[in-house]
Amino acid sequence: MPRLFNRVISFRVEGEIYDNETTPEQIIKSYDWSFRHDNGNSIFCSASYDDNRGRITNMTRLKEIKKWKKADTEYFLI
């Protein structure tokens, strides 16, 4: 069985806002995020939204990978 790990990856998010009262954080939080694994070597991330105040136009993964608060397993799971 595999050992488990936890890491944090970051993205740079670009987008458009269509009014003066909305913040970028509100636009990002309005998306519903879902992840799917195809049982091969691919993981798919998709996001949908029903918000007309703005939208995400581009996302770029940043190089830095950070450790998460939860420790990695030292043992193989059985």
The predicted-structure confidence for 8-61, as pLDDT tens digits, reads as follows 999 999 999 999 999 999 999 999 999 999 888 899 999 999 889 999 999 999
Residue 74 lies in a domain: no
Instruction: Give the pTM.
Output: 0.73
Given a contact cutoff of 8 angstroms between Cβ atoms, the answer to whether 77 and 2 are in contact is yes
* 30 domain-assigned: yes
| DSSP output for 2-43 | PPP--EEEEEEEEEEE-SSS--HHHHHHTSEEEEEE-SSS-E
Q: Is the pLDDT of residue 76 over 60?
A: no
In a domain, 34, yes or no: yes
Tell me 69's DSSP state. S
- In one-letter notation, the amino acid at residue 55 is R
Residue 29 lies in a domain: yes
SS3 category, 44:
strand
Residue 48's DSSP bridge partners are 32
Decide if 21 is inside a domain.
yes
Provide the domain count of the chain.
Answer: 1
